[in-house]
Structure 1
Amino acid sequence: MTKIALITGANRGIGFHIARGLGGHGVHVLLGCRSKADGDAAAAALRAEGVTADALHLDVTDPATVAAAAALVRDRHGRLDILVNNAGIALADGTWASTEMTVETLRTVYETNVFGVVSVTNACAPLLRAADAARIVNVSSEVGSLGVMFDPRSHLWPLQLGAYGSSKTALNALTVSYAKEFWDTPVKVNAVSPGYTDTDLGRPRPLDAASRDTEFTPDPDTWDGATPRKRTPAEGAAIAVELALTGPDGPTGGFFTDDPHYGDRRLPW
């Protein structure tokens, strides 16, 4: 039976490459996108590569589109084998310092990165339970790891990412919570870190027309001489694809990366 996967934020970047990677394994991928037109274009590009792909209008911050997308999956497929919560944003308001970020920025980031995940996961929960052995993958970030961010030896020590970083820490906590709820079922729930990836979100400043096409290179002095190589979206997507396809003996309730900067694939919470 062909597996059905829903990936949020899938019209570009890591989400698109997660869809491509899963499609390459014969999975029927559903691209959840805020813009249906962008989603249709992305799905058409995947179909041209031989992937079975459809686009769904899905804005994770809009409960109506979340409910409609879940209903469409239910009516067409009756189940959901894989849910990848990939949609995410990072806003800086010109700064990343916690004492300078606004509450409005915090709320905006959390609406997508935290509340949106809860909205989509809960709407899809009956469909995930209807599958033989569903998988939930939450696309987090190494900056959500308290162990990494508060280690003075870490290359991330100089960074202050109050809104984005804390939203990913909250996402990690939700990953544990959902993994515990599904503990006695075949459903497995994990978080992944794609690493420092060449996407719009991977640039640590607000994007505008001038900066969108500008390459960002971290200062080695502020990154403790351990500046990680910027990964391609395909490289960043690989760990999510792997966890989405993990077998019955695979992990649940973990936080994983395949970024070679880290020696251990399991990141600390």
Structure 2
Amino acid sequence: MKKVLITGANKGIGFETAHYLLQQGFYVFIGSRNIENGEAAVEKLKAEGLHNAEAIQLDVTNAASVLAARATIGKKTERLDVLINNAGINGGLPQSALEATIEQFEKVFDTNLYGVVRVTQAFIDLLRNSEQPRIVNVSSSGSSLTLHSDPSWKYYTHKAALYPSSKAALNMFTIDLAYELRDSQFKVNAVCPGFVATDFNNHRGTGTVQEGASRIAKYAMIGNDGPTGKFFAEEYNPETGETPW
């Protein structure tokens, strides 16, 4: 049975991705900053007959919490097949490039970039023990420099200084990580779930959590002939999903 760790999996797209992968036969570690919320999510899954889920206390902004989660999971398994770096924050509104404070930037980057680095580095040894290790970094098409510099793009005027810049940095980390792991069985990709209606955006999204989860899970389950070091946003590009950086 393949094993996956999903950060921020107690609600929203993370929870639905856990739900999807449990249905595909995975054992899912539900990473949750608040363990009570994580355990409640597990109970909800078990009520649907999905029993191969376990809550793990994991605050991606806290190095001690990340290492404790690694130690806990390491006692349960010698192998992790998939890491989905899903935990993220939007930074609130407004997000002015001239008025946002350094403290606001630090808070968003601490979760959306540094948190991914902490978790990935902590769990890379367990992932190396998998025959088909996969890393999915949950990104956003709104972080595409190419799209945001194109006046003809439909979201061109939707500028925000904090969240997109943190995800653009995450995309670069994805490229670097995929490159360092190029001579292995790893597949590392950045995936946008789409503009999905969740608490994250006050349910203003136009897509469903099921659509978003299926897009993430697709790249968690790709075969050895699948892509690596790519950026996918199927809502932007329905044909291939591949999106300009």
Tell me which interval the TM-score lies in, with the shorter structure as reference length: over 0.9
The count of residues paired between Structure 1 and Structure 2 equals 244
Cα distance in structure 2, aligned partners of 1:174 and 1:193: 15
Query: What do residues 22-42 of structure 1 show as CA deviations (whole Å, max 9, x unaligned)?
Result: 111000000000010000010
**Counterpart AA for 1:154:** W
Determine whether 1:257 maps to 2:233.
yes
Residues 231 and 244 of structure 2 are in contact (CA less than 8 Å); yes or no, is this contact kept in structure 1? yes
Cα distance in structure 2, aligned partners of 1:149 and 1:237: 25
Q: Give the aligned partner of residue 79 of structure 1.
A: 79
- 3-state SS, counterpart of residue 106 of structure 1: helix
Q: Give the aligned partner of residue 14 of structure 2.
A: 15
Distance apart, 1:258 and its partner CA: 2.2
- 3-state SS, counterpart of residue 170 of structure 2: helix
Q: Give the aligned partner of residue 176 of structure 2.
A: 177
- 3-state SS, counterpart of residue 131 of structure 2: coil
Q: Give the aligned partner of residue 59 of structure 2.
A: 59
5 Å-filtered alignment, 1:174-253, equals 174-203=173-202, 216=204, 230-253=206-229
5 Å-filtered alignment, 1:19-168, equals 19-51=18-50, 52-92=52-92, 94-168=93-167
**Counterpart AA for 2:69:** A
- 3-state SS, counterpart of residue 162 of structure 1: coil
Cα distance in structure 1, aligned partners of 2:71 and 2:209: 30
**Counterpart AA for 2:222:** T
Query: What do residues 138-189 of structure 1 show as CA deviations (whole Å, max 9, x unaligned)?
Result: 0000111111111111111001111100000000001101101110000110
**Counterpart AA for 2:188:** V
Distance apart, 1:72 and its partner CA: 1.4
Distance apart, 1:231 and its partner CA: 0.5
Unaligned runs of 5+ in 2: none
Cα distance in structure 2, aligned partners of 1:48 and 1:178: 38
Distance apart, 1:79 and its partner CA: 1.1
Find runs of 4+ consecutive structure 1 residues off by over 6 angstroms: none
- 3-state SS, counterpart of residue 201 of structure 1: helix
Unaligned runs of 5+ in 1: 204-214, 217-228
Q: Percent identity?
A: 43
Distance apart, 1:50 and its partner CA: 2.5
Cα distance in structure 2, aligned partners of 1:258 and 1:238: 11
Distance apart, 1:15 and its partner CA: 0.3
TM-score (norm 2): 0.96
Cα distance in structure 2, aligned partners of 1:32 and 1:85: 10
Computing the radius of gyration over CA atoms, which structure comes out larger, 1 or 2? 1
Residues 133 and 186 of structure 1 are in contact (CA less than 8 Å); yes or no, is this contact kept in structure 2? yes
- 3-state SS, counterpart of residue 136 of structure 2: strand
**Counterpart AA for 2:226:** G
Distance apart, 1:61 and its partner CA: 0.4
Cα distance in structure 1, aligned partners of 2:176 and 2:116: 13
Distance apart, 1:133 and its partner CA: 1.3
TM-score (norm 1): 0.88
Query: What do residues 71-102 of structure 1 show as CA deviations (whole Å, max 9, x unaligned)?
Result: 1111111111000000000113x412211211
